[in-house]
Chains A and B, each alone.
Chain A
Amino acid sequence: MPNFDYEAPTSLARALELLSRPGEVRALAGGTDIIDQLKNNRRNADLVVDLKRVPELLTLESNGSRLRIGSAVSCTDVHKFTLEKGGFSALTEAVELVGSIHIQNRASVGGNVCNAAPSADTIPSLLIHEAVAHTASASGGREIPLIDFFAGPGQTVLQKGEILKELVLPASSANTASAYLRFIPRNEMDIAVAGVGSLIEINPSTKVVTKARIALASVAPTPVRAYAAEKFLEGTVIDAVAIDKTADIAVGSAVPITDVRGSAEYRKELIRVLTKRTLNICMERLA
Chain B
Amino acid sequence: MSKKQIKTTVNGVEHEILVDSTWTLLETLRDHLKLTGTKEGCSNGNCGACTVMIDGKSSCSCLVLAPEINGREVTTVEGLADHGHLSPVQDAFVENSGLQCGFCTPGFMIATTALLNENPHPTENEIRLKLAGNLCRCTGYDKIVRSVQDAAERLSRA
CB <8 Å contact, A188 and B132? yes
List residues of chain A with CB within 8 A of the CB of B64: 31, 35, 106
> A229 CA to B57 CA in the complex, in Å?
41
CB <8 Å contact, A6 and B21? yes
**Which interface residue of B22, B46, B70, B128 has the most chain A CB atoms within 10 A?**
B22
How far does the Cβ of A40 sit from chain B's closest Cβ, in whole Å? 8
Q: 0/1 per residue, A32-74, Cβ < 8 Å to B?
A: 1001100110000000101010000000000000000000000
Candidates A1, A76, A189; contact of B22 at CB < 8 Å = A1
CB <8 Å contact, B58 and A101? yes
CB <8 Å contact, B58 and A35? no
CB <8 Å contact, A32 and B45? yes
> A1 CA to B66 CA in the complex, in Å?
13
Q: 0/1 per residue, B35-57, Cβ < 8 Å to A?
A: 00000000111101001001001
Q: Is B60 in contact with chain A by the CB < 8 A criterion? A: yes
Candidates B22, B57, B58, B132; contact of A4 at CB < 8 Å = B22
> A188 CA to B115 CA in the complex, in Å?
17
How far does the Cβ of A121 sit from chain B's closest Cβ, in whole Å? 14
Candidates B1, B43, B51; contact of A3 at CB < 8 Å = B1
Q: 0/1 per residue, B55-69, Cβ < 8 Å to A?
A: 001111011110110
List residues of chain A with CB within 8 A of the CB of B54: 105
Q: Is A2 in contact with chain B by the CB < 8 A criterion? A: yes
> A3 CA to B60 CA in the complex, in Å?
21
Q: Give residues 117-145 of B contacting A (CB, 8 Å).
A: 128-130, 132-134
Q: Is B105 in contact with chain A by the CB < 8 A criterion? A: no
**Which interface residue of A5, A28, A102, A189 has the most chain B CB atoms within 10 A?**
A102
CB <8 Å contact, A189 and B60? no
CB <8 Å contact, A50 and B58? no
Q: 0/1 per residue, A1-26, Cβ < 8 Å to B?
A: 11111101000000000000000000
Q: Is A103 in contact with chain B by the CB < 8 A criterion? A: yes
For A31, the closest partner residue in chain B by CB is: B63
Q: Is A100 in contact with chain B by the CB < 8 A criterion? A: yes
Q: Give 23 A-B contacts (CB < 8 Å), ordered by A residue.
A: A2-B22, A3-B1, A4-B21, A5-B21, A6-B2, A8-B67, A28-B65, A31-B65, A32-B45, A32-B63, A39-B43, A50-B65, A50-B68, A100-B48, A101-B114, A102-B51, A102-B59, A102-B133, A106-B60, A106-B64, A187-B132, A188-B132, A189-B133
Q: A4-B22, A28-B68, A101-B58 are in contact. List 10 more A-B contacts (CB 8 A).
A: A1-B22, A6-B65, A8-B68, A31-B65, A32-B63, A35-B63, A48-B21, A102-B60, A106-B59, A189-B46
